[in-house]
Amino acid sequence: MVARGAAQPWIPSVLRHLYRGMPHPETWLRVTPAGLWCEPGDFFIDPTRPVARAVITHGHSDHAQPDHEAVLATPETLAIMRARLGAERAGRQQQPLLPGEVVLHNGVRIWLRPAGHVLGSAQVCLEWQGSRAVISGDYKRTPDPTCAPFEVERSCDVFVTEATFGLPVFRHPPPEQEIARLLASVALFPDRTHVVGCYALGKTQRLIALLRRAGWDAPVWLHGALLPLCHTYEELGVRLGDIRLATVAQKGALRGAIVLAPPSAVAERWARRLADPVVCLASGWMRVRQRAKARGVELPLVISDHSDWDELNATIDETGAPEVWVTHGRDDALVHAMGLRGIRGRALHLVGLGEEDEGEDAAPEPAVPATAEGGVA
């Protein structure tokens, strides 16, 4: 792949549609068992198994799998992949691509735009014979001090979106408000340790940055599993302040402290051995009480690195795409809502993309069967 200067100037989609013979993206961008495949370019986007050529949107494990031959991604995503997977397994050939640059590969133009999801996350924009598709990867629109904000790529023929929170019950409150709730709880229970479950990549660093912005200058203590990626973020220029490794041996020192840990660890013996812990979990799923209850959470914090329902719909409208494909999440509600606005929606049912935002092992909740049941109470 060869870099070819800046992104091409904006062309109104109406004009491009008038160009006869322009292929529809479904003729050259296909769903395969390994993931989304660009046929003329012979490369995959976020493939779920090792392939010869991959374009990676961001470093989360269900998007950035090990052992590809050639990997194209932002420099930050490549660094995160090396940190998570080890240099040997993060792609035999790593090719960095900065947002704003374009590469041409087998006649397919490829460029990236920030997705606002985690550090390095990017949307993958593809154009072949005048036909254009944008693959969002995971994204959010709420400002995040640890990564570049989402940029809308207008004039695409197809926008491929995630839909992790694709139900109108998911509306994330301002993250500052949730951080204020956490700090109010720390003030109310000064002898207890607040253990916050959060995803190792992105959520952890964002929480630390939000705490700093809210004036929390004390050390933020980390479960060992969260430390390496924090170091990667710092090497990439994201300042996190005083972060320290938390061990149960420091039980006394951790009274009144904030400890971050993987979601799987907060309900386990590790956390239970801290001083009278207040178990918190930072995730968009915490909006629903039953989910919070099921995880044994005492203080649910609704902080998500994914778009909520309003952000998903607003983004779809802003792209102006006449057709939207949904990769993972709740596609039924989103496709229905788009239909009401005259946008053609299609559920891709990609395999292997997990239910993110909570933890590696967050098993999808069984949907409650739709038996008739009355009563608001």
Partner 1 sequence: MSIPAFAALLERLVFTPGRNAKIALLKRWFAEQPDPDRGIGLAALTEELTFATAKPALIRDLAAARTDPVLLALSRDYVGDSAETIALIWPQRAGVNTPPPTLSEVVEALDATPKSELPDLIAGWLDSLDANGRFALIKLVTGGLRVGVSGRLARLALAEWSGRPIEEIEEVWHGVAPPYLPLFRWLEGKAERPDPRDAPVFRPLMLAHPLEDADLATLRPEEWRAEWKWDGIRVQLCAGPGGRRIWSRGGEDVSAAFPEIVEAMDFHAVLDGELLVIRGGGEVAPFADLQQRLNRKTVGPKLMRDYPVGVRLYDLLFEGTEDLRALPFDARRARLESWIARTCPARMDLSPQIAFASVHQLAAIREGARAASIEGLMLKRADSPYVAGRVKGLWWKWKRAPLSIDAVLMYAQRGSGKRSSYYSDYTFGLWRPDGRGGEELVPVGKAYSGYTDQELLWLDRWIRNHTVARFGPVREVEKGLVLEVAFDAAQRSTRHKSGVALRFPRILRIRRDKPAGEADRLDTLMALVENREAKAKAKAEADAAAD
Q: Tell me the CA distances in angstroms from 112 to 75, 84, 120, 151, 164, one per residue in order.
A: 11, 22, 10, 10, 21
Distance CA 178, CA 301 (A): 6
Distance CA 7, CA 320 (A): 19
According to CB under 5 A, which residues from 113 to 142 bind Zn ion?
138
Tokens 């023929």 map to which residue?
A: 157
According to CB under 8 A, which residues from 146 to 205 bind partner 1?
167-171, 173, 181, 185, 188-189
Residue 273 near partner 1 by CB under 8 A: no
Residue 364 near partner 1 by CB under 8 A: no
Contact 134, 29 (CB under 8 A): no
Terminal alpha carbon distance of the chain: 60
Nearer to Zn ion, 60 or 105 (CB): 60
According to CB under 8 A, which residues from 50 to 79 bind partner 1?
none
Q: Choosing among partner 1, Zn ion, none, which partner's interface includes residue 289 (Cβ < 5 to 8 Å by kind)?
A: partner 1
The kind and range of the H/E element at 249 are none
Helix, strand, or coil (residue 142): coil
Binding partner 1 (rule: CB under 8 A), the pick from 227, 288, 347, 348 is 288
Q: Which stretch binds partner 1 (CB under 8 A): 21-29, 91-99, 254-262, 281-289?
A: 281-289
Nearer to partner 1, 47 or 197 (CB): 197
Binding partner 1 (rule: CB under 8 A), the pick from 80, 265, 297, 326 is 297
CB of 355 to partner 1, least distance (A): 13
CB of 246 to partner 1, least distance (A): 22
Residue 337 near partner 1 by CB under 8 A: yes
According to CB under 5 A, which residues from 51 to 80 bind Zn ion?
60
Contact 211, 258 (CB under 8 A): yes
Binding Zn ion (rule: CB under 5 A), the pick from 266, 356, 359, 362 is 356
Binding partner 1 (rule: CB under 8 A), the pick from 300, 345, 354, 359 is 300
Q: From the CA atom positions of the chain, what is the Rg in Å?
A: 21
**311 closest CA partner among 112, 60, 136:** 136
CB of 184 to partner 1, least distance (A): 9
Tokens 């046929």 map to which residue?
A: 39
Tokens 């709730």 map to which residue?
A: 181
DSSP string, 179-223: HHHHHHHHHH-TTS-EEEE--TTTHHHHHHHHHHHTT--S-EEE-
Interacting residues with Zn ion (CB under 5 A):
60, 138, 356
Interacting residues with partner 1 (CB under 8 A):
167-171, 173, 181, 185, 188-189, 276, 278, 287-290, 292-294, 296-300, 330, 332-333, 336-337, 340, 366-377
